[in-house]
Chain A
Amino acid sequence: MSYNSQRFDLLLLADMIAENSRVLDIGCGDGTLLKLLSENKNADARGLELNQAGVNACVAEGLSVMQGNADTDLAFYPDNAFDYVILSKTIQATKRPDLVLKEMLRIGKHAIVSFPNFGQWRVITSLAFKSQMPVTKNLDYTWYETPNVHFCTIKDFSNLCDELDIKVVDTSILDEQNQKLKIPSWLGLNNLFGHQAIFLLTKN
């Protein structure tokens, strides 16, 4: 299987995961990441997906997937059932991102969260100069139909982790081409130029 640059974020995310781990991917979509982790990391990878047709397609591909929703269905898993619980580009669509994060770190030793950065300059300029809600490659919904109800910036997310006493083990910031941001982080410009962020978290 080959992964184009569109999927570079998934490769970066997979890099954070140790071999032979038990992984739950919440909002696993068509199962691309599950497949990547099963094949390249020998992971025991399971998926949770909102859309039943998507679930059925994943199972037909041989993946272990159930229908479910991040806000309500993590309650059915026991403590520390997984080594990693992944929420990829989904946290902004959950009802209570803070509670979802807590649940992820209850059922998993680590949580990995990737999300579009609402602090990126394109988003800011759209709001500041066009007086319009941004519609970008990562945020391609108009305001009235978007499922994304809880946007945050990289800084917001870091603050939430502090508040919930969650330890940030690692971060990866991606640019608009889905490549690692080439600006050195000490310049403090991640929030402005980061298009997407990936956080590896654990309990403090």
Chain B
Amino acid sequence: MNHVSDIFIDPEPIKLDCGDALHYQLSYETYGTLNANKTNAILIFHALTGDQYVASTNPITKKAGWWANMVGAGLPIDTDKYFIICANVLGGCLGSTGPASTNPDTSEIYGLTFPIITISDMVRAQVRLINHFNIDTLFSVIGGSMGGMLVLEFAANYQNRLLCAIPIATGSRHSSQNIAFHEVGRQAVMADPNWHGGNYHNHDEQPSKGLAVARMAAHITYMSDQSLHEKFGRNLQDRDSVSFGFDADFQIESYLRHQGMSFVDRFDANSYLYLTRAMDYFDLAAQFDDNLMAAFAGTHIRFCLISFTSDWLFPPEESKLIAQALNRVAANVSYVEVASPKGHDAFLLDEPEMFSAVTGFLASTAQKHGICDKGSK
């Protein structure tokens, strides 16, 4: 598989929703080969704490790509057929410009002086990346969770620049409950004395404990009650009885602590604040006079929405609302609801029905547009 890591440095600043203009760069990976007509490109958007390493080893964690079961040769998003681009989002912390970057005007790390970024800003930056590749029309945009928000934003505002879209386990807006969980996470970061008002880089410290707690709280929302019960139950961790103290007696406690601590090694705390804020601010209908239909009016994009029955962070109802809005404008929409006990995280896991839906949807769309003939490489 042809695989490239690169950085796109935009010569022009980007105008942000908050009003600021920002000089920025995007760090990205590509997989596969762009065909001569530039018609086989798929842009994948990562989730909140995801990254550009969708199908290649993350250099920090040394773990396989976060969607290595979805993207690759012969896999649903087939790198033998399609040219896949995945960039670290604007505001991220793995090579794209974010709060941990250095402000060129002051030569100091931005910290909280970094402007507030929105989902629209993230998409706007990635459209520039697509322009940089001289790609006029993407074959598809695909993403789960926050990545799904970027898919919807892209599909609504750049209708003529893609043929099909797959928003997975997502919503057209962040719910009150979702904002609430994010606020808990942010307050945990800010309550850590090592955060120093966002200036921890200058103090050579990290608000690791606060960020770990934020991750622990968030991680609960990525799983279902049933999956927690099946994985951990009330099992004790390396002991036969409770300790009558506040050690991690239970396996679930130990697991969450591990999730929290391993997260801080790979993620910047301020970036977590900015990206969660971007998700909170997302409300696609609000851009169209509170009319979600209007976001898709006249669209020629073929949609495939996917949700998971046990996902309570972005429950199936959220996807259904989007599907109904698409129906109201007579858009070509499929909606797959996968019966899974694995909660929100299911979109990253081995879910054969999701894989076959993505495979069939992409193959039939490609065939219709004569993009890659069956079996061609």
Which residues of A are interface residues toward B (Cβ below 8 A)?
Answer: 22, 44, 46, 52-53, 55-56, 58-67, 76-78, 81-82
**Distance in Å from the Cβ of A85 to the closest Cβ of chain B?**
12
Q: Compute how far the CA of A103 lies from the CA of B209 in the bound complex, rounded to whole angstroms.
A: 58
| B residues in contact with A61, CB < 8 Å | 360, 364
Write 12 A-B pairs (CB below 8 A) sorted by A numbering: A53-B339, A55-B337, A56-B357, A59-B334, A60-B359, A61-B360, A62-B364, A63-B364, A64-B333, A65-B334, A66-B335, A77-B328
How many whole Å from B338's CB to the nearest CB in chain A? 7
Pair A59/B327 contact, Cβ less than 8 Å: no
Q: Which residue of the partner chain, among B324, B329, B338, B361, contacts A62 with CB atoms under 8 Å? A: B361
Nearest residue, chain A, Cβ from B364: A62
A64 touches B330 (CB 8 A): no
Question: B337 near A76 (CB under 8 angstroms)?
Answer: no
Q: When the two chains form their complex, are residues A56 and B361 in contact, meaning their CB atoms are under 8 A apart?
A: no
| Nearest CB of B to A196, in Å | 29
Query: Are B324 and A76 in contact (CB-based, < 8 A)?
Result: yes
Secondary structure class of chain A's binding surface, majority of residues: mixed
Closest to A55 in B: B336
| B interface residues with partner A (beta carbon < 8 Å) | 302, 304, 323-324, 327-330, 332-339, 353, 356-357, 359-361, 363-365, 367
Task: Specify which of A53, A76, A82 lies most central, judged by the most chain B CB atoms within 10 Å of its CB.
Answer: A76
Pick from A64, A76, A81: contact of B334, CB below 8 A.
A64
- Decide: B359 and A67 in contact? CB cutoff 8 A: no
Assess A56 versus B353: contact at CB under 8 Å? Given A66-B335, A67-B335: yes
Contacts of B332 in A (CB 8 A): 44, 46, 64
> Does B338 contact A56, Cβ atoms closer than 8 Å?
yes
Residues of A within 8 A of B337 (CB): 52, 55-56, 67
Contact at B330–A77, with CB atoms within 8 Å? yes
What CA separation (Å) do A139 and B371 show in the bound complex? Answer: 45
A56–B359 alpha-carbon span in the complex (Å) = 12
Q: Report yes or no: B327 in contact with A62, Cβ–Cβ below 8 A.
A: no
* CA of A44 to CA of B339, assembled, Å: 28
> Which of B330, B353, B364 is the one whose CB lies under 8 Å from A81?
B330
Give A61's nearest chain B residue, CB to CB. Answer: B360
Contact among A52, A59, A82 with B304 in the assembled complex (CB-CB below 8 Å) = A59
A55 to B361, CA, bound (A): 12
- Residues B330 and A78 in contact, CB atoms below 8 Å apart: yes
Q: Choose among A44, A46, A62 the residue with the greatest number of B CB atoms under 10 Å from its CB.
A: A62
Smallest CB-CB separation from B366: which chain A residue? A62
Q: Give bound CA distance, A60 to B359, whole Å.
A: 7
Q: A64 — which chain B residues lie within 8 A by C-beta?
A: 302, 332-334
Task: Point out the residue from A59, A76, A78, A82 that lies within 8 Å of B336, measured CB to CB.
Answer: A59
A56-B336, A56-B338, A66-B333 known; A78 and B328 CB under 8 Å? yes
Residue of B nearest to A53 (CB): B339
- CB pair B327–A76 under 8 Å, yes or no, is yes
Closest to B352 in A: A60
Minimum-distance CB pairs A-B, first 3: A62-B364, A81-B330, A60-B356
